[in-house]
């Protein structure tokens, strides 16, 4: 008699989380309207002492790897002023064969609303895989400021990212019309790609800033005057800037003054303190 032996691959535990946040305006101030949290996705609302509301997104798992998934939903009704950031830098660890870690963010802004989307840097480790998407729906006069920054290994920790997969997808709509689309993708030998002069010039940290606002073009010249030496353009109520730096510290040194200039006098969250 013969017996068959079947190999069963273990099912790895995965992180999942969904959080939804909605703000309204009662005519005098921004108020919390709805808060939903599930799994590893949490939201905290510190008292900032400012006129705007502030929300801090938290991944209680502490990091992500292949197959993990986080979903964020943020709705800002007419007249709302809010700032959303993260508690710490997201860390994307080595991924086994299979799907990448995914982060999906959807944001909607009503008439006259303003939201600053200011997550801290995403740190990718060697052999990591991450897919991000940002979908935003804006009213005609809404103001949206966003930053996304990625760091491929921390120089101070002696980390090198030889290979990784990173895809960051943005789609911004105003009154239902697509006004901005951007896909940033690195896959394969990341260190070799970033070493190329036409790509990163040996930088290991990069960031994108987008401002969508009436007359956003007026911010371009002051931004260039305050921070020369980066790529930026502006037209049709949009301003886009890209930064590269040799490490996370130098990137943040450039991002903080740029965000302060574009934030219409709003104080950056404490998490962004250098």
Least confident of 21-30, 132-141, 156-165, 219-228: 156-165
List pLDDT tens digits, range 30-51: 999 999 999 999 999 998 666 7
User: Is 81 a member of any domain?
Assistant: yes
List pLDDT tens digits, range 12-25: 678 899 999 999 99
User: Is 100 a member of any domain?
Assistant: yes
Whole-number pLDDT of residue 270 = 85
Percent with pLDDT over 70 in the chain:
93
Contact 44, 73 (CB under 8 A): no
Label residue 1 by pLDDT band (50, 70, 90): low
Whole-number pLDDT of residue 231 = 84
- Its pTM stands at 0.91
Residue 256 has pLDDT above 80, yes or no: yes
Whole-number pLDDT of residue 262 = 94
- Burial class, 24, CB count within 10 angstroms (exposed 0-12 / middle 13-18 / buried 19+): middle
The residue among 174 and 5 whose pLDDT is bigger is 174
State which residues form the domain around 71: 16-137+149-203
Q: How many domains does the chain have?
A: 1
User: Is 131 a member of any domain?
Assistant: yes
User: Is 262 a member of any domain?
Assistant: no
3-state secondary structure of 128: strand
In the beta sheet, which residues pair with residue 30? 25
Residue 57 has pLDDT above 90, yes or no: yes
Provide the strand spans (E) within the chain.
16-25, 30-39, 41-44, 53-59, 69-76, 81-86, 90-92, 101-109, 114-118, 122-124, 129-138, 143-152, 164-174, 177-188, 205-212, 231-235, 238-245
Residue 8 has pLDDT above 50, yes or no: no
């Amino acid at each position: 008699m013969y017996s068959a032996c079947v190999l069963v691959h273990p099912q790895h535990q995965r992180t999942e989380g969904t959080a939804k946040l909605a703000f309204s305006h009662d005519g005098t101030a921004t108020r919390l309207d709805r808060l939903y949290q599930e799994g590893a996705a949490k939201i905290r609302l510190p008292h900032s002492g400012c006129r705007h509301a502030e929300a801090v997104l938290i991944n209680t798992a502490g990091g992500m790897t292949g197959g993990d998934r986080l979903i964020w939903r943020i709705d800002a009704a007419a007249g709302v002023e809010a700032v959303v950031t993260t508690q710490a830098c997201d860390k994307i660890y080595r991924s086994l064969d299979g799907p990448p870690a995914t982060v999906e963010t959807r944001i909607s802004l009503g008439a006259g609303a303003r939201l600053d989307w200011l997550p801290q840097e995403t740190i990718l480790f060697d052999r990591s895989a991450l897919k991000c998407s940002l979908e935003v729906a804006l009213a005609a006069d809404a103001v949206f400021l966003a930053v996304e920054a990625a760091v491929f290994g921390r120089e101070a920790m002696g980390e090198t990212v030889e290979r990784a997969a990173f895809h960051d997808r943005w789609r911004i709509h105003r009154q239902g019309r697509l006004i901005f689309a951007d896909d940033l993708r690195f896959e394969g030998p990341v260190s070799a790609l970033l070493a190329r002069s036409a790509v990163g010039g040996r930088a290991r940290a990069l960031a994108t800033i987008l401002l969508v606002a009436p007359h956003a073009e007026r911010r371009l010249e002051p931004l260039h005057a305050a921070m020369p030496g980066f790529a930026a353009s502006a037209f049709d109520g949009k301003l886009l800037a890209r930064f590269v730096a040799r490490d996370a510290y130098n990137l943040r040194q450039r991002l903080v003054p740029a965000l302060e200039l574009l934030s219409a006098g709003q104080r950056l969250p404490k998490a962004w303190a250098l």
